[in-house]
Amino acid sequence: MKQKTLSKRASTTLVISLILATLVTSAILTGTLIARNQRLNPDYITYQEAIDIASAIPEVATFLEENEISSVSANRIDEKWIVEFYADNFTYAEDIYYWMNYAYVEIDALTSDVLYFAVYTPSKPNYTEQEIIAIANAIPEIAEWLDSQAGDISINAWYDGLELWYVDYWSDTIRSYPFVIISNNNGSVIFYEIYDPLENAIHTEEEIIVIVEALAEVQQWIVFNPEFGRTINYYDTIWFGNESFLKSANNFATKNIDVNAGVWIVDYWALDNPYQNWISITVDDETGEVVDITKSLAPNLTFDEVIAIAESQPEVSTFLDSLSLYGVSAVFDSFYGYWYVYFENIYNYNEYAKVDIIDATGEIFYYYIHDLPNPNLTGEEALAIALSDPEVQDWLATVTGYEVYMCFDEGFWYIDLIDDILTFNESLIPGETIGIRIVIDDVTEEVIDVIYLPI
């Protein structure tokens, strides 16, 4: 009997909305219904072949010999394989941040040609974080800025693993931000500045708030949403570039913005529903004129209605009929007025369907099905093999509950079992195991690896 579940994973929803935002734009531009069904090209080199080709590059082979590799990944993006090797065996000091040893390879998925590769090996830092901060604090202008601060100051320093240290400062009391770059070779200051985003502003924050909150539309919104949050930001077109800023701003405004100086953007959102209930006001800094007001849209369709519409698309319906268990999520975009519906095979999250719906009309303007060739094993069979492995059973005996995430890719099943309790434990120790990954060969039906997943 077919089952479907409502997905409650916020991370999945976020990823979906970000991916779909790009797809939505392209669909609108064409003004046509778009449908795609991506299948694996049988001529593509396999996951393991991509790793083997990358490992055979002399520079990469040397890197693999000289370092303890902590993880290897291979991902195919269109006609290209991206293979990455990581080694995290550098442990100079706990307060030093640096890039781990890393090798990166791009391979043509059809011809096996190596398109690009690079090996990054970090150099040892010659200074500690405290020493670098002391050098930055000794710069006269920085020292003067520090003396002017009445509240708490946050100072962060990090090393890029190659040759440069970066130091940045933050204070809640003054809207200016020092930034320093220091050489790891000799400790010399290469660059510094104290950026004040309000330096060229004509109006003050207080004046802009008075202008905005005098608007009847804003007053009405506040009356209906007495518990709200507010941010105010000034965008200096001299700093960002007038042309590039206006191009960006007009992408999100309901009408073209025509200003000669900077602009202020004041955002209000309801604390009980910040992503679906908000209002944004744009003010020309030079004239004090309100040039744009954008409000969140309220959905006309219900969750159940958009799911029914998505399932009515014949290709989507056929796809869902092929699944024994799938998850369903639907997200409403309060800016554009679209619904983004996502169906995911519970036993293989690489199999999914996405449907985008116009809330005002109920029209499907885009759908996409990522359907993979049928593997030898079903998802249920692969999960059963994973759970019957002795090492996996030993781990299961140590947990009270777990989440299952499954994926079939290039001839292998990847099954992640994640500890429910540890996932939500805020006192986790870095490196502590939060789950295990079982890798199963789809042809031989054997467990070929069990990997313990650290936090």
> pLDDT tens, 171-211?
877 778 899 999 999 999 999 999 887 878 899 999 999 99
Residues 285 and 245 in one domain: yes
Between CA 362 and CA 16 the distance in angstroms is 20
Tally the domains of the chain: 5
CA 175 to each of CA 150, 187, 283: distance values in angstroms, whole numbers, following the listed order: 12, 28, 19
Does residue 439 sit within a domain? Answer: yes
Least confident piece of the model among 257-261, 289-293, 428-432:
428-432
Q: Token digits for 299?
A: 């959905």
Question: Residue 319 pLDDT > 70, yes or no?
Answer: yes
Q: Name the burial class of residue 100, with classes exposed (0-12), middle (13-18) and buried (19+) by CB atoms within 10 angstroms of its CB.
A: middle
pLDDT band at 243; cut points 50, 70, 90: very low
Q: What percent of the chain has pLDDT over 90?
A: 47
With beta carbons less than 8 A apart as the criterion, state whether 104 and 81 touch: no
End-of-domain residue from the set 120, 146, 175: 120
Residues 166 and 228 in one domain: no
Summarize pLDDT for 36-60 with one digit per residue, the tens.
333 345 578 888 899 999 999 999 9
Long-range interactions of 359-364: CB distance < 8 A, separation 24+? 359/297, 359/299, 359/300, 359/301, 359/306, 359/332, 360/300, 362/301, 362/305, 362/309, 364/33, 364/309, 364/310, 364/313
CA 450 to each of CA 38, 174, 390: distance values in angstroms, whole numbers, following the listed order: 30, 52, 11
Does residue 100 sit within a domain? Answer: yes
Does residue 374 sit within a domain? Answer: no
With beta carbons less than 8 A apart as the criterion, state whether 339 and 367 touch: no
Residues 280 and 215 in one domain: yes
Residues 391 and 433 in one domain: yes
pLDDT band at 13; cut points 50, 70, 90: very low
Question: Residue 14 pLDDT > 60, yes or no?
Answer: no
Residues 137 and 168 in one domain: yes
Does residue 350 sit within a domain? Answer: yes
Q: What mean pLDDT do residues 64-79 have? A: 84
Summarize pLDDT for 211-220 with one digit per residue, the tens.
999 999 999 9
Residues 165 and 143 in one domain: yes
Q: Name the burial class of residue 352, with classes exposed (0-12), middle (13-18) and buried (19+) by CB atoms within 10 angstroms of its CB.
A: buried
With beta carbons less than 8 A apart as the criterion, state whether 178 and 189 touch: no
Q: Token digits for 225?
A: 């949403």
Q: What mean pLDDT do residues 15-31 have? A: 32
Residues 214 and 276 in one domain: yes
pLDDT band at 277; cut points 50, 70, 90: very high
With beta carbons less than 8 A apart as the criterion, state whether 183 and 163 touch: yes
User: For position 9, what pLDDT does the model report?
Assistant: 32
Residues 215 and 288 in one domain: yes
Q: What percent of the chain has pLDDT over 70?
A: 80
Q: Which domain holds residue 433?
A: 379-454
User: For position 309, what pLDDT does the model report?
Assistant: 96
Between CA 8 and CA 224 the distance in angstroms is 29
Question: Residue 284 pLDDT > 80, yes or no?
Answer: yes
Does residue 372 sit within a domain? Answer: no
Residues 115 and 51 in one domain: yes
Does residue 13 sit within a domain? Answer: yes
Residues 284 and 308 in one domain: no
Does residue 373 sit within a domain? Answer: no
Radius of gyration (C-alpha) of the chain in whole angstroms: 27
pLDDT band at 89; cut points 50, 70, 90: low
Residues 291 and 307 in one domain: no
Does residue 63 sit within a domain? Answer: yes
Residue 237: how many other CB atoms lie within 10 Å = 19
Q: Token digits for 174?
A: 């003054």
Residues 168 and 97 in one domain: no
Scan for tokens 């150099």, then name that residue.
123
* Pairing status of strand 325-333 against strand 338-345: antiparallel
pTM equals 0.53
Question: Residue 24 pLDDT > 80, yes or no?
Answer: no
pLDDT band at 21; cut points 50, 70, 90: very low
With beta carbons less than 8 A apart as the criterion, state whether 159 and 135 touch: no
For 246, phi then psi, to 5°, come to -65, -35
Q: Give Cα 355 distance to the centre of its chain.
A: 21
The amino acid at residue 322 is: S
End-of-domain residue from the set 317, 334, 367: 367
Question: What's the chain's average pLDDT?
Answer: 81
Q: How long a stretch of residues is the chain? A: 455
End-of-domain residue from the set 244, 277, 295: 295
User: For position 177, what pLDDT does the model report?
Assistant: 86
With beta carbons less than 8 A apart as the criterion, state whether 322 and 360 touch: no
